[in-house]
Structure 1
Amino acid sequence: MNKPSAQQSVHSDWKATQIKVDDVMFAMVHEIEIDVHPAVALKCSPALAELIREQHSDVHPSAHLNPSHWNTVLLEGSLKDSQIYYLVDAALQRIQKQG
């Protein structure tokens, strides 16, 4: 994931790569496949989290992070790349607003 100031760190215990800006995580790429798809967990507002889940069957509440603020997005599913890029940008903006 190529975002300004973003740093990646691999956590082999979790089988995931955390992506952070200023030590605040906004995305976590799962190294194991979920439902036969690669997946990424993305931070979002509670309202956006619910809306996206209602509209897309490939978006689920995060099983390992606070599901009110985190969605797991199945990659290579029904979401278009442009929709996934939008969610990544929204995740980054979310942590920048909090900081």
Structure 2
Amino acid sequence: MMNFPTIDEHLRSLPHVSKAFHEQWGWMVYWVDGKQFACEFTAKPTAKAPYAGRHLLSLKCDPERIRRLRTTYPDVILPGYYSDGRTWISIDLDADLPQDLVLDLCDNSHELVSAKR
């Protein structure tokens, strides 16, 4: 299982990042220069499968890398929850996934969103 406090610390250490709780969604949102690049939340138990009740981290990701990740980790790396599944992923934070991979995906999301400013 991944250590979310370490992931949170890593996300906040990236350049130009702010973090705020989105009251309406009940999600913690990470922003780079005012643009969302990561969200941490627990999907409601009534959410559709396979998201229901899972502790998730959603990140922007390159479509080709998404295809590879979903093939390798089909039950852990899911299409982005409430986002474009072609360019966003949701990671099950309670699953057994290498933390280094998750931190790299956080960096990649930050870079992808930063590049658009």
Query: What TM-score, normalized by structure 2, do the two folds share?
Result: 0.75
- For the 8 Å contact 1:17–1:31, the answer to whether it is kept is no
- For the 8 Å contact 1:37–1:77, the answer to whether it is kept is no
User: Which of 2, 6, 16 is the equivalent residue of 1:5?
Assistant: 16
Pick 1 or 2: higher relative contact order, CA cutoff 8 A, min separation 6: 2
The residue aligned with 1:82 is 100
Task: Give the number of the structure whose residues are more often strand, by fraction.
Answer: 1
The residue aligned with 2:79 is 61
- Structure with larger Rg: 2
SS in 1 for 2:106: helix
How far the C-alpha of 1:36 sits from its partner, in A, is: 5.0
In the comparison of the two structures, how many residue pairs are matched?
99
Question: How far apart, CA to CA, are the structure 2 residues paired with 1:88 and 1:69?
Answer: 14
**Structure 2 stretches lacking a partner, 5+ long:** 1-7, 45-50
Which has the higher mean CA deviation after the structures are superposed, 28-37 or 76-85?
Answer: 28-37
- For the 8 Å contact 2:66–2:89, the answer to whether it is kept is yes
Deviations along 1:43-81, whole A, 9 cap, x unmatched? 111111121111112000013011111100011312111
Look up the equivalent residue of 1:29 and give its one-letter code. E
Q: CA RMSD in A?
A: 1.7
How far the C-alpha of 1:19 sits from its partner, in A, is: 0.5
Q: Tell me, yes or no, if structure 1 residue 47 matches structure 2 residue 100.
A: no
SS in 1 for 2:115: helix
Query: What TM-score, normalized by structure 1, do the two folds share?
Result: 0.88
- For the 8 Å contact 2:33–2:114, the answer to whether it is kept is no
The residue aligned with 2:90 is 72
Aligned-residue identity in percent:
18
